[in-house]
Structure formats: structure tokens, C-alpha cells
Amino acid sequence: MTFGKRLAFLVFLDSFTVVAAIYLSYFMINPAKELLNPAIIISSVVLLAAHHIFASLYKLYVKAWEYASIKELLAIFYAVSFSAFTTGVFQQVAYQDVYVRILLITWLIHMVLICGTRFCWRIFRDVYYRNASDKKRTLIIGAGMTGTMVARQLMNNRNTNLLPVAFLDDDKKKQNLQIFGLAVAGGIEAIEEACSKLSIETIILAIPSLDKMALNTIYSNCEKINVKVLTIPKMEDIMLGKVSSNEFRDVKVEDLLGREPVELDIEGITETISEKTILVTGAGGSIGSEICRQICRFSPSKIILLGHGENSIYQIDMELRSKLQNEIEIIPVIADIQDRNRIFEIMQEYKPYVVYHAAAHKHVPLMEYNPREAVKNNIFGTKNVAEAADTFGVNTFVLISSDKAVNPPNVMGATKRFAEMMIQHLSQKSSTKFVAVRFGNVLGSRGSVIPLFKKQIQSGGPVTVTHPEMTRYFMTIPEASRLVIQAGSLARGGEIFVLDMGEPVKIVDLAENLIKLSGYTTKEIGMNFSGLRPGEKMYEELLNENEVHSKQIFPKIHIGKAALINEEILLDFMKDFYVLEEGEIRDRLLDMANNRINVTTAV
């Protein structure tokens, strides 16, 4: 029904309702009297006119009555009451008398009929909705503010295929009560029983504060009864505009393996970033782009998005512009960090206050095959950016390092350790505060193992794991990015910051969880073990035993005390680099990174 037809229908229906109300009330008080009494006719016209005026004022003709609630009921009450009051005033002026009993009964009938004609739309929708056979019976975990919001959205959304039938909540005060007509059927421990009794097909986790251990427990219970599990979007994604609150998603492996987020020192970060010019290298990459998103929360004056790949820089540039609406000046810069002159030009032109250096080659096996390129990008590129930062008075330089820089058996890790030592030496003679941040693998990055596993699962398997005992530390991209930003605010110069990443995760467990989350079993997909690839370690470390400061300088953040090599050895390697064979490059890198030559005292 079009809006015009709908409006005409409601006006006609209300007109009939008003006339019926006043004549029914008159007949109930004086059944023997003449119904065509002039006073009654005139009062009917006044009441009808008043009703349409107040119905328009309270928007009774433009509300979506299939979603009516208490607010709409109050609107009807005010419109009907003021209509009756206006009619009473007219009767007092015209006839010096008010037909009180008739007006009271008219008000009551008027109210009942208007509510009935409006709320029948809501009743029909709810009855039709609840009896819809094509909708999946859904159990909502959590009957708090978020859970009730989810239930309301599902009940009001015609296009969803989810039918909420009950809640579960550990709050005993809510149990056995009903919310929106849905029973709170017990605590979270009653998942299996509730799913069996209510024929549940889908579960929605609607508890934002749910910790990882509880999530794993719930998911394990759901696996036993073959029920699909969905969760609400993260609050940060909703606030950043990435998703809306009713876009439910599957539980991801990141949810099961992720850690509780690090609480940030907002005041310290704001002081470092707010109203400052910030430069991010590798701004189009997984970590670099997320650093840019997080930085925007602290209102810098400018963000310089520096990257070598035009497509990735274009994407993050467009994303930030669409969200920020010109609140922050965004400057995309295409440049190669190996181009020393270009890097110095950029640093001189924009004079950033903080530089986050995320640009690097990070793929371990590829860098084993291409050690020369790893050195050119990760060492010479870092040297260019760092020395430009020193030359043009950057306040803080933050190097994104890796857990692979600890006892590195591979070229990629060795170049990262070399870069750490290089900025530590530079920090000793510069006014710029140079620091490095080490962390483990990030879930969801382009180089992460998860996209590979997903592709293998989509192809029907098998999933390829290098070794059943291989472990890695994992963290989410937003958490890693927050750590980098936090480190910048804590920098005093020369530190290597390390996140307390908890317990390492077996890659085979990661693969099994991903298979289950994709709706398969390990028997259906299969799993092969291919053996370690060139340069890979069985176990990763974040610090050597002699590098660890046990005391945290910030919740979940340590400072390492890594040993330094004589600076002349680093410089000699860079001088000899272009005449060395690739095998010699690899050997000398690993010797230096593992402190096998001329180690000085720790810093």
C-alpha cells in the first residue's frame, strides 16, 4: 500500500471510529432519545475535527504501527484525550453545559477503538512472525541491554530468517520471567537442555563482556548439539561504522583464540598524537592501515599515509576520508622506503611529530629465497626512514618489529633484529626517541595462516599444517596496533617493548577450530603435515631469557634489555652488502642477529 492510500485509509477509518464512539456513548446513556439531535451532530463534527488535528500533531497517520509500542500508545492517549477536552470546551461555550457522562464514555470507546485498529497491525505481524515456518528458531544468550536489543531488532525485522524464542541468562532475578513475550529459560549452563526442548537451530551470543574462556565453553557445548552459533559485532566495529548492530556474524577463530584487550593510557596517547602530524609507513598493509584507523580516534591534525602500493594506499585513504568527513587532513603519499632522497623530501616537507614504521617484507620462506631484497627493504629502508626522522627532528620513531627477531634462524627475523639494533644505536646520539615493538603473529592479516586455511577448506581440503607440535603467539590486528600506539606514548628512547602475549597456540589447534567453525569435521576436510619450511622455527620467542625485565611498565607490556653489537660491524655489513653473495649475506646476518660476534653490554 502506497503512503497516499495508507493515509486516506487511516483518515477514513478514524472518521468512522470517532462518529461511532460518540453515537455509541449517546445511545448507551439515552437509548430512547433522538440520535439526530443537533447538539450531538455538532459535537460529533467538533470531536472529529479535533481528532484529526491532534492525530496529525502526534503523528498517528505516519507511524509504522506494525512496530507499535508504549510510545505509540501514549501518542494515542494524548490525541484522544485532547480531542475530548476540546469538545468539552466547545460544549461549555456553545451550550453552557458539558455532557460529562457522554464525553467520558466517548473517550473510553474512542480510546479502545483507535488502539484496536492500530495495534491489530502489530498483533497480526507478531502472530504471523511467530508462526513463520521458514524462520530458524533462535536462542539468545544474554537477557541484558544488548540481548533485549537483539530480540527487538529480530522481532521488528521482516527480512531476517531468525525467530527468537527464548533467552538464557545467569542473572537469577531474570530467570523464569518473560521479556517481549520470550521466556528467560535458565542460565547459560542450560544450553543443551534449552536447545533440545525448544528445537533451537541458531544461538546468538549477546554478551559483549563475555570472556574468551566462557566463549570457548559455550562454543564447545554448542558443537555437541550441532547448533549454529552467531555473535554480535564488536563495539569498536559498530562505533567505527564498519557494521551495524544487527549484523550478526559467525563466531570466528579470532574470537576463540584472541586475548582480552589491553587497556590503553588514553591521556598519554592523546598528548602524543592530538593535534600532531603523524606519518605511517606501510600504511596500506594490515598493521599499518589499522594503526591509521586507531590514530584517528585521537584527533591528529594530519595523517601521512606512506606506502609503495598504490591500490592499498588508495583503499585506506578512501576509507578514512569517508568516515572522517574532512575532520582530519589525510595525505596519501606513494613512495618506496628504499628511495633515500624521496624519504628525506617527505620528512622535510611534512615534519611529522611521530613516525610509525610498519613498512617491511615479513614473509619468512620468501625472504629465505630473497635475502638481498629483505636486507634492502627491512634494513636499508628502515635506515632511510630512521635517519630522516633524526635529521628533521621527529619526536618519536616507533619500529614495528617481530617475535621472529629473537634468536632468528631466518633472514626475515635477522633483518628485524638488525633494524632493532640500528635504531638503538641511533637513539644514543639523537634527540628523537627511537623504540621498537615486538609482537607475535596477527590474526586476519594478509600474511596470516588463516586465509590459507580458509582457502583450503573452501576447496574441500586437506588443510596443510607444517608440524603437529608447531606453536605460535597470536594477537588481533587491533590489539597489535593499539600496542604500537601505546609504545609511542611510553617511549623514552632505545626501548624494545614486548607484549605479554600469554600462552602460545598450537597451529594444529588453530586449523581444527577453523574447520569446525566452517561447519565441517576434521575427517571431512582432512589434515596433512608438510614439515617445516625454510627458515621456520618450531617455537617462537618474544625475548631471550637474558633479555627479560620481569616487571611490566604498563599492563601486559614489558621492556626488553637486548644486547647490542658494535655499531662498526653493522656499518661494515652495509658497506660490503652489494659485493656479497646471497649465501654470505644470510650467514653474516644470522651471526650478527644472534650476537655471535663482538657482543657489547646489554642496554
Nearest to 400 by CA among 442, 345, 343, 463: 442
pLDDT band at 127 (very low <50, low <70, confident <90, very high): low
Cα distance between residue 68 and residue 351, in whole Å: 57
User: What pLDDT, on a 0 to 100 scale, did the predictor assign at position 599?
Assistant: 42
Cα distance between residue 328 and residue 36, in whole Å: 72
Residue 494 burial (C-beta neighbours within 10 Å; 0-12, 13-18, 19+) = buried
User: What pLDDT, on a 0 to 100 scale, did the predictor assign at position 132?
Assistant: 54
Residues 6+ apart with CB under 8 A from 221: 191, 192
The three cell numbers of residue 81 are: 484525550
Nearest to 572 by CA among 548, 554, 545, 597: 597
pLDDT band at 549 (very low <50, low <70, confident <90, very high): low
Instruction: Give the position of cell 614495528.
Output: 400
Q: Which of the residue ranges 278-282, 449-453, 490-494, 537-541 would you say has the lowest mean pLDDT?
A: 537-541
What are the pLDDT digits (tens) for 346-395? 999 999 999 999 999 988 889 999 999 999 999 999 999 999 999 999 99
User: Is-contact 280 288, C-beta < 8 A?
Assistant: yes
User: Is-contact 79 51, C-beta < 8 A?
Assistant: yes
Q: 534 preceded by cis ω (within 30°)? A: no
**Measured between alpha carbons, how far is residue 405 from residues 224, 342, 409 in Å?**
41, 28, 9
**What's the mean pLDDT in 210-215?**
69
User: Is-contact 528 562, C-beta < 8 A?
Assistant: no
User: Is-contact 436 495, C-beta < 8 A?
Assistant: yes
At residue 122, the 3 state secondary structure works out as: helix
**What's the mean pLDDT in 163-190?**
85
**What's the mean pLDDT in 461-465?**
87
Q: How far apart are the first and last CA of the chain?
A: 76
Cα distance between residue 574 and residue 422, in whole Å: 11
Cα distance between residue 545 and residue 594, in whole Å: 13
pLDDT beyond 50 at 240: no
The three cell numbers of residue 361 are: 617484507
3-class SS letters over 59-109 = CCCCCCHHHCCHHHHHHHHHHHHHHHHHHHHHHHHHHCCCCHHHHHHHHHH
User: Is-contact 165 201, C-beta < 8 A?
Assistant: no
Cα distance between residue 494 and residue 432, in whole Å: 10
Per-range mean pLDDT, top range of 115-124, 199-208, 215-224, 512-521: 199-208
pLDDT beyond 70 at 483: yes
Amino acid identity at 107: W
3-class SS letters over 298-358 = CCCCEEEEEECCHHHHHHHHHHHHHHHCCCCEEEEEECCCCCHHHHHHHHHHHCCCEEEEC
Per-range mean pLDDT, top range of 27-31, 147-151, 154-158, 269-273: 269-273
Q: How far is CA 284 from the centre of its chain?
A: 19
pLDDT band at 241 (very low <50, low <70, confident <90, very high): very low
Quick one: residue 492, left, alpha or beta (phi over 0 = left, psi -120 to 50 = alpha)? alpha
H or E element, residue 442: strand 441-443
User: Is-contact 455 515, C-beta < 8 A?
Assistant: no
Residues 6+ apart with CB under 8 A from 349: none
User: What pLDDT, on a 0 to 100 scale, did the predictor assign at position 600?
Assistant: 43
Instruction: Give the position of cell 617484507.
Output: 361
Q: Cβ of 254: how many Cβ atoms within 10 Å?
A: 16
Nearest to 481 by CA among 295, 248, 353, 203: 295
User: What pLDDT, on a 0 to 100 scale, did the predictor assign at position 104?
Assistant: 87
**What's the mean pLDDT in 459-464?**
86
User: What pLDDT, on a 0 to 100 scale, did the predictor assign at position 383?
Assistant: 97
Nearest to 592 by CA among 579, 402, 363, 577: 577
Quick one: residue 180, left, alpha or beta (phi over 0 = left, psi -120 to 50 = alpha)? left
Q: Cβ of 569: how many Cβ atoms within 10 Å?
A: 16
Quick one: residue 140, left, alpha or beta (phi over 0 = left, psi -120 to 50 = alpha)? beta
Going by the DSSP 8-state scheme, the letter that residue 398 receives in this structure is E
pLDDT beyond 90 at 504: no
**What's the mean pLDDT in 199-222?**
75
User: Is-contact 359 281, C-beta < 8 A?
Assistant: yes
Cα distance between residue 496 and residue 478, in whole Å: 20
pLDDT beyond 70 at 397: yes
User: What pLDDT, on a 0 to 100 scale, did the predictor assign at position 457?
Assistant: 83
Return the C-alpha torsion angle 111, 112, 116, 118, nearest 10.
0
Cα distance between residue 579 and residue 588, in whole Å: 13
Share of the chain above pLDDT 90, in %: 24
User: What pLDDT, on a 0 to 100 scale, did the predictor assign at position 447?
Assistant: 59
Cα distance between residue 277 and residue 350, in whole Å: 8
Cα distance between residue 117 and residue 12, in whole Å: 12
Cα distance between residue 107 and residue 25, in whole Å: 9
Q: Which domains does the chain carry?
A: 3-129 (no CATH), 136-251 (3.40.50.720), 266-441+476-500+545-602 (3.40.50.720)
**Measured between alpha carbons, how far is residue 461 from residues 41, 322, 464 in Å?**
81, 39, 8
What are the pLDDT digits (tens) for 2-19? 767 778 888 888 888 888
pLDDT beyond 80 at 258: no
Greater confidence (501 vs 100) lies with: 100
pTM higher than the cut 0.95: no
Alpha helices in 392-442 (DSSP H): 411-427
Cα distance between residue 452 and residue 463, in whole Å: 9
What average pLDDT does the chain have? Answer: 81
User: What pLDDT, on a 0 to 100 scale, did the predictor assign at position 458?
Assistant: 80
User: What pLDDT, on a 0 to 100 scale, did the predictor assign at position 603?
Assistant: 36
Nearest to 285 by CA among 319, 308, 261: 308
What are the pLDDT digits (tens) for 583-599? 899 889 888 887 766 54
